[in-house]
Structure 1
Amino acid sequence: MNTQTLEQRPTAWERFKASHFLHSFRTDKVAIISFSVFLFFALAALFAPLIAPYDPYDPAMIDIMDSEIAPAWSEEGDERFALGTDAQGRDMLSTILYGTRVSLMIGICAVLMQAFLGVVIGLAAGYFGGRVDSILMRIADVQLSFSTMMVAIVVLALFQAAFGAELYAKLAIFMLIMVIGIAEWPQYARTVRASVLAEKHKEYVDAARVMGFKSRRIMWRHILPNTLSPILVISTVQVANAIISEASLSFLGLGMPVSEPSLGSLISSGFAYIFSGSWWITVIPGVVLVLLVLVMNLLGDWLRDVLNPKLYKG
């Protein structure tokens, strides 16, 4: 009898196929298109070394005589360079593929740092309450009083002034992840704290306390799983925000160096040539950045509606 019951129990994949989440995704054309576009960008960035016609990091593949060649579809274009070249003679298609990989890596890693700090602080504040809650939330309020860009500009500018541009160029990607990650954790902390306050007085938490479970186990294994829905929604939007922050900092000269292209540094390096006729150096990476951020925001809106039954209309 028990064996038959186990055999009839649906697998995790079968439960997923029958879930409201997958049904909502299949019936939402905007979500399907947004996810398809994001998946295209992510796979193209991941396999950039295999897809890119040239290696923008290899000086042997760069010829300054090929600088500012228009895209292949224009009259002045060259069929060797589908999207043209930049002022250094690098193939734009290759630099965009590598730049998208850098931007996505910074965005995802920065959000992972934000989520870790915010979840830890939000769990502690909501579960323990009292003085712990007051201290942690006042720290979050102070952090929120400074914009991400202001914190990043001050920290990165001071680092460059103290240690030099050469060292900064080597550590730029780690500095951007750290600064953007630390600047945005209060968003997670406040959301997690609110969810914990709603969950910690429920019966399953009281039962766990009666059974003698330690606070750490109750927080991480019982309460946290019930707060994941808003965390997923915030993460989708925050990845887009982190990519925009990186692009803005690169445009201001405080992001990735020109030798290691990101979407922001590509836009920044081409801005000086946009009025001289070489519009593609800035416009094409800009379009890629806008599309990437747009589809991630659309996915975030869809996740918010699906994971919140009060907002989802079917």
Structure 2
Amino acid sequence: MTISTTSSSRAASPRMPSRWERFRDSFLLYSFKRDLVAQLSLIIFILMVGAAVLAPWLAPTNPYDLASIDLLASELPPFWIEGADPLYFMGTDAQGRDLLSTILYGMRVSLVIGFGAVLLQATIGVCFGLLAGYLGGRIDAFLMRLADIQLSFSTLMVAIVVGALFKSIFGGATYSDYAMWLLVLIIGLAEWPQYARTVRASVLAEKAKEYVDAARVMGLRRRRIMFRHILPNTLSPIFVISTVQVANAIISEAALSFLGLGMPETQPSLGSLIKSGFDYLQSGSWWITLIPGLVLVVLVLVINLLGDWLRDVLNPRLYKG
């Protein structure tokens, strides 16, 4: 009696675990289940992002619709203060807009600017970091000196120059129409050196390893070695930086809007909402500034907490779970 070696070898070969099984058994999920702060931060972040995405359906009114704005209902207090209107849960701002609606729409604008700016930062910084670390020589020196020059200019200075040039060329009305995308461009161009320096350091460590030498011996092109082999091994610090940079970009947008260099008051963002109510603090209408400010603090806080947890997990020497 003969036994087929092919069929027996197939039966004996172990089944490869699926992606879900690998994720379920991963150290990332294990550490997340043991960290209550990370769990609460992720839940709050998902709720805030979901509320921002669903703002057209969740918001009682549309702050962009002039027909829904009632100047006679301006500066109404929140529901827990005497004199409140039950139609306005969190009160109204100085323009008579429902504050809850403007916060939901404004949070969406702030998140779009934060994630859009970080995407631009990461694209520029990762490409420059890969080129500088892998190619070295004059290209490395040129790109790193370019990063040094960029770091000498603050985000505020870049915003002043770009905003002034855009307004002088296209006019203030056009600037208001494209303010959100200009902020994405300004913050993205101002902060890319953070990614470039980190990726360059990781590439310098990775290109000296044996798998890179093996790829060179096989005759693979530089571009494939950089993007298909080296880049996946540098993603851990990129993820950590991205969480911090999203929070920084949202804060930068709020600061620029507060200084009058960001979103106009007619297009609500968390920064422009804080600015719009700042002049009414002494008159007693503190909620116009305080409530959007608290939302901004909570949003930035949960992003930073998630970033700290991710940094500790991806660096086992820092993990204390």
Q: TM-score range by the shorter chain?
A: over 0.9
Aligned to 1:241: 248
Aligned to 1:182: 189
Gaps of 5+ in 2: 1-7
Residues 82-122 of structure 1 show CA distances to partners (whole Å, capped at 9, x for unaligned) of 10000111000000000000000000000000000000000
Aligned to 2:216: 209
Structure 1 residue 74: Cα displacement: 1.0
Pairing 1:1-314 to 2, within 5 Å after superposition: 4=11, 8-314=15-321
Q: Give the secondary structure class of the aligned counterpart of 1:208.
A: helix
Structure 1 residue 76: Cα displacement: 1.2
Partner amino acid, structure 2, of 1:48: A
Aligned to 2:5: none
Gaps of 5+ in 1: none
Output the TM-score relative to the length of structure 2: 0.95
Distance of 1:139 and 1:106 partners within structure 2: 24
Distance of 2:113 and 2:144 partners within structure 1: 27
| Contact in 2 for aligned 1:153/1:249 (Cα 8 Å) | no
Partner amino acid, structure 2, of 1:289: L
Residues 213-252 of structure 1 show CA distances to partners (whole Å, capped at 9, x for unaligned) of 0000000000000000000000000000000000011111
Distance of 1:208 and 1:2 partners within structure 2: 31
Residues 261-308 of structure 1 show CA distances to partners (whole Å, capped at 9, x for unaligned) of 000000001111111011000000000001101111111111110001
**Count of residues paired in the alignment:** 314
| Contact in 2 for aligned 1:113/1:182 (Cα 8 Å) | yes
Partner amino acid, structure 2, of 1:274: L
Structure 1 residue 7: Cα displacement: 7.1
Structure 1 residue 3: Cα displacement: 5.3
The structure with more radius of gyration: 2
Aligned to 2:3: none
Distance of 2:222 and 2:15 partners within structure 1: 37
Residues 112-170 of structure 1 show CA distances to partners (whole Å, capped at 9, x for unaligned) of 00000000000000000011100000000111111222222222133223432111001
Distance of 2:303 and 2:107 partners within structure 1: 14
Q: Structure 1 residues 251-260 or 215-224, which shifts more?
A: 251-260
CA distance 1:60–1:7, shift in 2 (3 Å) = farther
CA distance 1:145–1:26, shift in 2 (3 Å) = same
Distance of 2:145 and 2:172 partners within structure 1: 35
Partner amino acid, structure 2, of 1:75: E
Q: Structure 1 residues 155-164 or 295-304, which shifts more?
A: 155-164
Partner amino acid, structure 1, of 2:200: R
Residues 156-207 of structure 1 show CA distances to partners (whole Å, capped at 9, x for unaligned) of 1332234321110011011100010000000000000000000001011011
